[in-house]
Amino acid sequence: MKNKTIYFREFNKNDLSEVVDVYIKVFSAEPWNDKLTYDQITSYVNQITELNTFKGYIVREEDTDNLLGAALGFIKPWYMGKEYQLDSFYISNDYQGKRVGTQFLNFIKEQLKDIDIPTIILDTDRGYPAEYFYLDNGFEPSNSSIILYGDTSNEV
């Protein structure tokens, strides 16, 4: 990424197709190796962007206007105010490890601070590069919370 200029801005519906394309490329590759379809991820992105508390951001290369990454999330109430739930955050494979993600995350933090949202919460898989990325960027694991999930098709 030598001498490449990048810029950040809020997501808009015109970004949808590229956001889906980059999402599929990133999460279909190592280390995730997810089996994703265009329809599946388009549906996901459409559904999250239709939330009335949706807040998303993108990063682009200035010269080419290529999409380099996206952050999709939503603002949620909390007993101490509001939080930003970062649902998806990803950087194009070619730009990972080049500080684009850190710059992008810092931009998002500033945007949220400007609208009085003091906290970003997220979940990620343990042992994956994303965990170390977030730890390196000031996130801390919660000692008081765990993520649980349940299958709605089984009765207890």
Rounded mean pLDDT of 68-80? 95
In a domain, 146, yes or no: no
In a domain, 65, yes or no: yes
DSSP per-residue string spanning 26-87: HHHSTTT-----HHHHHHHHHHHHTSTTEEEEEEEETTT--EEEEEEEEEEEETTEEEEEEE
- State yes or no: pLDDT of 1 exceeds 50: no
- Per-residue pLDDT of 30-69, as tens digits, reads 999 999 999 999 999 999 999 999 999 999 999 999 999 9
Q: How many domains, the chain?
A: 1
Report the CATH number at residue 46: 3.40.630.30
In a domain, 15, yes or no: yes
pLDDT value for 109? 98
Range of the domain at 44: 6-136
In a domain, 95, yes or no: yes
Residue the block writes with tokens 């950040």: 8
In a domain, 87, yes or no: yes
